Amino acid sequence: MDSRSLLVVEPLRYALALRPDWIALEEVPAVLPLFEHTARLLAGAGYSTWTGVLNAADFGLAQTRRRAFLLASRTRPALPPEPTHADGGTLADLFGDGLPSWRTMGDVLGCAPGDVITRGNHTTGGSRFPTTGPSWAITGRARSWMLRVGNRPASTRRRLDQPAPTLLFAKALNDVSWIEADGTAIRRLSVAEAAVLQGFSATYPWAGSRTKQFEQIGNAVPAPLATAVLRSLVPVRLELAA
């Protein structure tokens, strides 16, 4: 067993020693049974608790990132956040407004349909950029690109008109790449693109080497999801800047 696995129980020790007003824990879905056990112990210590798995796409992220959460509070009911988006969207009814569809990679990377311009000349050609998107984003011709995570035949692939799959970096850094629809490799995902797909700005000041920057992005709780989760726990209005 990896000795680091024991670190996931450390927050319980801190909570029982410090008795904070509220607690929010996030981990990979496989940790949910441990979170459920932890929640039972916290309930015995006077906390209202909720555990479950949330999909970041339901909260405005252009990525179907699923993560387990444990929410606990000594001052208010611990409840899951209300989704702001849904797969395919939902219609308005007697109980409220409908929800918009999940956001896509094309939505957030500035690859919306529109006129394009060519930088270069008629001899050498040039790069084609959508006039509606920032210059760091993927190019106009890239509307047929797909994002692949992993290098195996069964690796997850998503079109630009879909949310990204869960972004995995660290040792898999070289395997998060743009490909043509036929599988032809194009280039790796850039740091700016990865940041935007994780809910941050393209110019967010990540530190360290390129590899370390990707690790920071992949390990971060996406800003839209963090905002939704903490808004349900903290008694003041939260405005978390991406």
Tally of CB atoms within 10 A around 97: 9
Does 7-87+222-231 carry CATH code 3.40.50.150? Answer: yes
CA atoms of 133 and 143, how far apart (whole Å): 12
- The four Cα atoms 125, 126, 128, 129 give a dihedral, to 10 degrees, of -160
Tally of CB atoms within 10 A around 98: 11
| Amino acid type, 239 | E
What's the order of all strands across the beta sheet hosting 48-55? 22-27, 66-73, 48-55
Residue extent(s) of CATH 3.40.50.150 domains in the chain? 7-87+222-231
Closest CA to 110 of 71, 136, 92, 85: 136
Looking at residue 144, its pLDDT comes to 75
Looking at residue 92, its pLDDT comes to 77
CA atoms of 222 and 152, how far apart (whole Å): 26
CA atoms of 202 and 136, how far apart (whole Å): 8
In order along its 242 residues, the chain shows pLDDT tens digits of 566 667 878 888 999 999 999 999 999 999 999 999 999 999 999 999 999 999 999 999 999 999 999 999 999 999 999 999 999 998 877 667 889 999 999 999 986 444 343 344 444 444 554 444 444 455 555 567 899 998 777 788 999 999 999 998 766 555 889 988 888 888 889 999 999 999 999 999 999 999 899 999 999 999 999 999 999 898 765 555 44
